[in-house]
Amino acid sequence: MKLYSYWQSTTSYRVRAVLNLKGVEYDILPVNLLTGEQRGVGYRGMNPGMGVPTLVLDDGQVLTQSLAIIDYLDATWSDPPMLPGDASRRARVLAAALAIAVDVHPVNNLRVVQALKTRFGADQDACVEWMHHWMAEGFDQFAALIEDEARFSFNDDTPDLADICLVAQAYNARRWGLALEDWPRLATIEAACLALPEIEAAHPRRQPDAVA
């Protein structure tokens, strides 16, 4: 299968990490968001949202939206599971994941920041302050939702969807100068995730389109 991905995209990072953890083979096709490749006619035909990631299955089916892709991967390759089987525990993990994927990421992504600059006159410092505000709120929420003592957010064994969303957003926080050490529990989870070779291999700096 083929994964259309951008190296610094946190949503692409999520899917790369899950593919690696599940041992699924895939090829990366980079999409340069900064030059607007995602708005090209060919790519837009696959992904009407003009974002990344896009996963093309071996039979030609096209999947978009990172959480939908991860849901497909979890249904098709169940080990390790991204969500637990127990219904109440599943809801708790999903709530923590959505604190990042729904409450933080959409207001901090590239096209929103570009709109703040071009349509509303925000300068770079104001945009960074904007991103810090929403990331801090999301990290506060995430920290309040997870377990206190587990190696990862909810268990000691393997990362789940909440961890995957966190580690990707943690990269973005550090990229924009927000110290995750202000949330020691989250920094510990991030370190535990990055100690796994599958997640380290999904890290932005390890991608074929990474720029030094």
Please list, residue by residue across 108-130, b when 16 or more beta carbons sit within 10 angstroms of its beta carbon and e when fewer do.
bbeeebeebeeeeebeeeebeeb
Q: For residue 141, what pLDDT is reported?
A: 98
Q: For residue 173, what pLDDT is reported?
A: 98
Q: For residue 49, what pLDDT is reported?
A: 95
Contact present, 180 and 173 (Cβ < 8 Å): yes
Positions in the chain whose pLDDT score sits under 70:
none
- Nearest of 130, 211, 115 to residue 177 by alpha carbon: 130
Residue span(s) of the chain under CATH 3.40.30.10 come to 2-79
pTM of the model: 0.96
CA atoms within 13 A on the CB side of 2: 11
Q: For residue 212, what pLDDT is reported?
A: 81
- Whether domain 2-79 has CATH 2.60.40.3080: the reply is no
pLDDT tens profile 108-124: 999 999 999 999 999 99
Q: Which residues have a Cβ under 8 Å from the Cβ of 119 and sit 6 or more positions away? A: none
Q: For residue 137, what pLDDT is reported?
A: 98
Question: Given phi > 0 = left and psi -120 to 50 = alpha, else beta, which region is 65?
Answer: left
Element housing 94 (H / E): helix 87-101
Residue 11 sits at the vertex; the CA angle it makes with 55 and 151, to the nearest 5 degrees, is: 115
Q: What is the CATH number of domain 87-199?
A: 1.20.1050.10
Q: For residue 116, what pLDDT is reported?
A: 97
Q: For residue 122, what pLDDT is reported?
A: 97
Neighbours of 95 (CB within 10 A): 15
Neighbours of 86 (CB within 10 A): 10
How far is 27 from 10, CA to CA, in rounded Å? 18
How far is 74 from 193, CA to CA, in rounded Å? 18
Residue span(s) of the chain under CATH 1.20.1050.10 come to 87-199
How far is 132 from 130, CA to CA, in rounded Å? 6
pLDDT tens profile 98-108: 999 999 999 99
